[in-house]
Protein backbone atom coordinates (compact mmCIF):
# COMPACT_ATOMS: atom_id res chain seq x y z
CA UNK A 1 0.00 0.00 0.00
CA UNK A 2 1.30 3.47 -0.93
CA UNK A 3 2.68 5.36 2.08
CA UNK A 4 0.65 8.44 3.03
CA UNK A 5 2.70 10.62 5.36
CA UNK A 6 -0.28 12.71 6.45
CA UNK A 7 -2.36 9.62 7.25
CA UNK A 8 0.31 7.92 9.36
CA UNK A 9 1.28 11.12 11.17
CA UNK A 10 -2.36 11.77 12.02
CA UNK A 11 -2.51 8.38 13.78
CA UNK A 12 0.38 9.25 16.11
CA UNK A 13 -0.92 10.83 19.31
CA UNK A 14 1.06 13.31 21.41
CA UNK A 15 0.64 12.94 25.16
CA UNK A 16 2.09 15.87 27.09
CA UNK A 17 4.03 15.41 30.34
CA UNK A 18 4.20 11.62 30.10
CA UNK A 19 5.94 9.58 31.44
CA UNK A 20 7.56 12.62 33.06
CA UNK A 21 6.90 16.36 33.25
CA UNK A 22 8.23 18.11 30.15
CA UNK A 23 8.15 15.06 27.83
CA UNK A 24 5.91 15.14 24.75
CA UNK A 25 5.31 11.44 24.35
CA UNK A 26 4.65 10.32 20.76
CA UNK A 27 2.29 7.38 21.05
CA UNK A 28 2.31 4.95 18.12
CA UNK A 29 -0.29 2.61 19.65
CA UNK A 30 -3.03 3.78 17.22
CA UNK A 31 -0.95 2.58 14.26
CA UNK A 32 -1.26 -0.98 15.53
CA UNK A 33 -5.02 -0.74 15.91
CA UNK A 34 -5.42 0.69 12.41
CA UNK A 35 -4.89 -2.05 9.80
CA UNK A 36 -4.48 0.48 6.98
CA UNK A 37 -1.84 2.45 8.88
CA UNK A 38 -0.04 -0.73 9.92
CA UNK A 39 0.05 -1.94 6.31
CA UNK A 40 1.33 1.42 5.04
CA UNK A 41 4.14 1.43 7.59
CA UNK A 42 5.21 -2.18 7.00
CA UNK A 43 5.00 -1.82 3.21
CA UNK A 44 7.17 1.33 3.28
CA UNK A 45 9.98 -0.67 4.89
CA UNK A 46 9.41 -3.71 2.68
CA UNK A 47 9.82 -1.55 -0.42
CA UNK A 48 12.93 0.12 0.98
CA UNK A 49 14.74 -3.07 2.00
CA UNK A 50 13.53 -5.81 -0.33
CA UNK A 51 16.40 -5.44 -2.78
CA UNK A 52 19.26 -4.77 -0.38
CA UNK A 53 22.06 -6.97 0.98
CA UNK A 54 20.62 -6.96 4.51
CA UNK A 55 21.01 -10.42 6.05
CA UNK A 56 19.44 -9.86 9.51
CA UNK A 57 16.92 -7.57 11.17
CA UNK A 58 17.62 -6.58 14.77
CA UNK A 59 14.98 -4.84 16.84
CA UNK A 60 14.75 -3.16 20.23
CA UNK A 61 12.52 -4.08 23.17
CA UNK A 62 9.63 -3.45 23.21
CA UNK A 63 7.92 -1.21 20.68
CA UNK A 64 10.64 -1.92 18.11
CA UNK A 65 9.60 -5.57 18.06
CA UNK A 66 6.16 -4.95 16.68
CA UNK A 67 6.93 -3.74 13.18
CA UNK A 68 10.28 -5.51 12.87
CA UNK A 69 8.72 -8.95 13.38
CA UNK A 70 6.34 -8.39 10.48
CA UNK A 71 9.16 -6.99 8.35
CA UNK A 72 11.39 -9.99 9.05
CA UNK A 73 8.53 -12.26 8.04
CA UNK A 74 7.92 -10.33 4.82
CA UNK A 75 11.61 -10.10 3.90
CA UNK A 76 12.28 -13.65 5.11
CA UNK A 77 15.23 -12.58 7.27
CA UNK A 78 16.30 -13.76 10.72
CA UNK A 79 15.04 -11.52 13.53
CA UNK A 80 17.43 -10.66 16.39
CA UNK A 81 15.95 -9.44 19.66
CA UNK A 82 17.79 -6.74 21.58
CA UNK A 83 16.11 -6.95 24.97
CA UNK A 84 15.96 -5.03 28.21
CA UNK A 85 18.17 -6.60 30.87
CA UNK A 86 17.17 -9.89 32.46
CA UNK A 87 14.84 -11.19 29.74
CA UNK A 88 17.16 -13.42 27.70
CA UNK A 89 18.37 -16.85 28.82
CA UNK A 90 21.88 -18.19 28.26
CA UNK A 91 25.06 -16.20 27.82
CA UNK A 92 24.40 -12.56 27.06
CA UNK A 93 26.33 -9.33 26.64
CA UNK A 94 24.89 -6.10 27.98
CA UNK A 95 25.21 -2.37 27.62
CA UNK A 96 23.91 0.41 29.89
CA UNK A 97 22.53 3.60 28.36
CA UNK A 98 20.57 6.79 29.03
CA UNK A 99 17.39 7.71 27.17
CA UNK A 100 15.17 10.78 27.03
CA UNK A 101 13.39 9.91 30.28
CA UNK A 102 15.62 7.53 32.21
CA UNK A 103 18.30 4.87 32.17
CA UNK A 104 18.25 1.22 31.17
CA UNK A 105 20.38 -1.69 30.04
CA UNK A 106 20.10 -3.73 26.86
CA UNK A 107 21.22 -7.28 26.15
CA UNK A 108 21.67 -9.68 23.28
CA UNK A 109 22.51 -13.36 23.37
CA UNK A 110 26.07 -14.29 22.55
CA UNK A 111 26.24 -15.53 18.97
CA UNK A 112 22.99 -13.78 18.00
CA UNK A 113 24.91 -12.19 15.13
CA UNK A 114 28.27 -13.01 13.64
CA UNK A 115 31.12 -11.35 11.78
CA UNK A 116 29.98 -10.16 8.37
CA UNK A 117 26.24 -10.10 9.09
CA UNK A 118 24.59 -7.06 7.49
CA UNK A 119 22.07 -5.82 10.00
CA UNK A 120 19.10 -3.52 9.65
CA UNK A 121 18.51 -2.19 13.16
CA UNK A 122 14.90 -1.24 13.84
CA UNK A 123 13.31 0.77 16.63
CA UNK A 124 10.05 2.68 16.73
CA UNK A 125 11.52 6.07 17.61
CA UNK A 126 14.82 7.97 17.71
CA UNK A 127 15.13 10.59 20.44
CA UNK A 128 18.58 11.06 22.02
CA UNK A 129 19.85 7.96 20.24
CA UNK A 130 21.04 6.44 23.53
CA UNK A 131 19.05 3.26 22.99
CA UNK A 132 20.21 2.77 19.41
CA UNK A 133 23.86 3.45 20.23
CA UNK A 134 23.71 0.83 23.00
CA UNK A 135 22.20 -1.69 20.57
CA UNK A 136 24.81 -0.83 17.93
CA UNK A 137 27.59 -1.38 20.48
CA UNK A 138 26.23 -4.87 21.27
CA UNK A 139 25.77 -5.87 17.63
CA UNK A 140 29.11 -4.53 16.36
CA UNK A 141 30.95 -6.12 19.32
CA UNK A 142 29.86 -9.45 17.82
CA UNK A 143 31.14 -8.48 14.38
CA UNK A 144 27.94 -7.32 12.65
CA UNK A 145 27.81 -4.39 10.21
CA UNK A 146 25.00 -1.92 10.79
CA UNK A 147 23.72 -1.25 7.29
CA UNK A 148 21.00 1.16 8.40
CA UNK A 149 18.94 2.22 11.38
CA UNK A 150 15.22 2.44 10.66
CA UNK A 151 12.50 4.00 12.80
CA UNK A 152 8.94 5.19 12.41
CA UNK A 153 9.54 8.52 14.17
CA UNK A 154 12.56 10.79 14.42
CA UNK A 155 12.68 13.56 17.02
CA UNK A 156 15.48 15.58 15.36
CA UNK A 157 15.58 18.23 18.10
CA UNK A 158 16.88 15.59 20.52
CA UNK A 159 19.89 15.00 18.29
CA UNK A 160 19.99 11.21 18.07
CA UNK A 161 19.58 10.86 14.32
CA UNK A 162 22.27 13.48 13.65
CA UNK A 163 24.66 11.72 16.06
CA UNK A 164 24.06 8.47 14.19
CA UNK A 165 24.74 10.12 10.83
CA UNK A 166 27.85 11.78 12.29
CA UNK A 167 29.01 8.24 13.17
CA UNK A 168 28.50 7.22 9.52
CA UNK A 169 25.41 5.15 10.30
CA UNK A 170 22.67 5.63 7.69
CA UNK A 171 19.31 6.53 9.24
CA UNK A 172 15.84 6.20 7.75
CA UNK A 173 12.65 7.39 9.45
CA UNK A 174 9.14 7.59 8.09
CA UNK A 175 8.29 10.86 9.84
CA UNK A 176 9.66 13.51 12.15
CA UNK A 177 8.23 15.64 14.95
CA UNK A 178 9.92 18.90 15.90
CA UNK A 179 9.61 20.89 19.09
CA UNK A 180 9.94 17.93 21.46
O1 LIG B 1 16.64 7.73 21.52
P2 LIG B 1 16.37 7.45 22.97
O3 LIG B 1 16.48 8.69 23.81
O4 LIG B 1 17.21 6.35 23.50
O5 LIG B 1 14.84 7.01 23.08
C6 LIG B 1 14.22 6.13 22.20
C7 LIG B 1 13.74 4.89 22.89
O8 LIG B 1 12.75 5.22 23.87
C9 LIG B 1 11.64 4.34 23.75
O10 LIG B 1 11.86 3.14 24.41
P11 LIG B 1 11.49 2.80 25.91
O12 LIG B 1 12.78 2.56 26.64
O13 LIG B 1 10.56 3.82 26.46
O14 LIG B 1 10.86 1.37 25.80
P15 LIG B 1 9.55 0.65 25.25
O16 LIG B 1 9.75 0.48 23.76
O17 LIG B 1 9.63 -0.64 25.98
O18 LIG B 1 8.32 1.46 25.57
C19 LIG B 1 11.60 4.07 22.26
O20 LIG B 1 10.89 2.87 21.99
C21 LIG B 1 13.07 3.96 21.90
O22 LIG B 1 13.58 2.65 22.09
N1 LIG C 1 9.12 11.60 23.26
C2 LIG C 1 9.04 10.27 23.15
N3 LIG C 1 7.88 9.70 22.76
C4 LIG C 1 7.80 8.34 22.63
N5 LIG C 1 8.81 7.52 22.91
C6 LIG C 1 9.97 8.06 23.31
N7 LIG C 1 11.16 7.50 23.63
C8 LIG C 1 12.01 8.50 23.97
N9 LIG C 1 11.41 9.69 23.87
C10 LIG C 1 10.13 9.45 23.45
Q: How far is CA 49 from CA 10, 13, 107, 111, in A?
A: 25, 27, 25, 24
Spell out the residues 6+ positions from residue 16 whose beta carbon is closer than 8 angstroms to its own.
23, 24, 25
- Asked if omega into 19 is within 30° of 0 (cis), the reply is yes
Pocket test for ligand 2, best of 61, 64, 125 (most atoms within 8 A of CB): 125
pTM > 0.95: yes or no: yes
Q: Does CATH place domain 53-176 in 3.30.930.10?
A: no
Assess whether pLDDT exceeds 70 at residue 180.
no
Average pLDDT, integer, range 9-17: 98
Residue pair 67/152 in contact (Cβ under 8 Å)? The answer is yes
Query: Ligand 1: which atom is nearest the Cα of residue 130?
Result: 4
Atom 2 (ligand 2) nearest CA: 25
Ligand lying nearest the CA atom of residue 20? 2
**Long-range residue pairs from 104-107, CB within 8 A, at least 24 positions apart, any chain:** 104/131, 105/134, 106/60, 106/61, 106/82, 106/131, 106/134, 106/135, 106/138, 107/82, 107/83, 107/138
Ligand lying nearest the CA atom of residue 151? 1
CA of 90 to the centre of ligand 2 (A): 30
CA of 14 to the centre of ligand 2 (A): 10
CA of 56 to the centre of ligand 1 (A): 21
Q: For residue 88, what pLDDT is reported?
A: 98
Confidence grade of residue 169 (pLDDT, cut at 50, 70, 90): very high
Strand, coil or helix: what is 102?
Answer: strand
What are the extents of the domains in the chain? 53-176
Handedness of CA 81, 70, 35, 123 (dihedral sign): positive
Query: Ligand 2: which atom is nearest the Cα of residue 180?
Result: 1
Count of CB atoms situated within 10 Å of the CB of 46: 14
Spell out the residues 6+ positions from residue 32 whose beta carbon is closer than 8 angstroms to its own.
38, 66
Q: For residue 29, what pLDDT is reported?
A: 98
Q: Which residues line ligand 2 (CB under 6 A)?
A: 23-26, 99-100, 125, 127, 155, 180
Ligand lying nearest the CA atom of residue 60? 1
Q: For residue 60, what pLDDT is reported?
A: 98
Is residue 162 lining ligand 1, measured as CB closer than 6 Å? Answer: no
Q: ipTM score of the complex?
A: 0.97
Amino acid sequence: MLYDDFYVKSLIQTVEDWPKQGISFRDITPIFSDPKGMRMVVDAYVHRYISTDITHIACIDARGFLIAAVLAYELQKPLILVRKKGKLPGKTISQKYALEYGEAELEIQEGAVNTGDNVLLFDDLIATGGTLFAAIELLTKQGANIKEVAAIIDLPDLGGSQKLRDSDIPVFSLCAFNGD
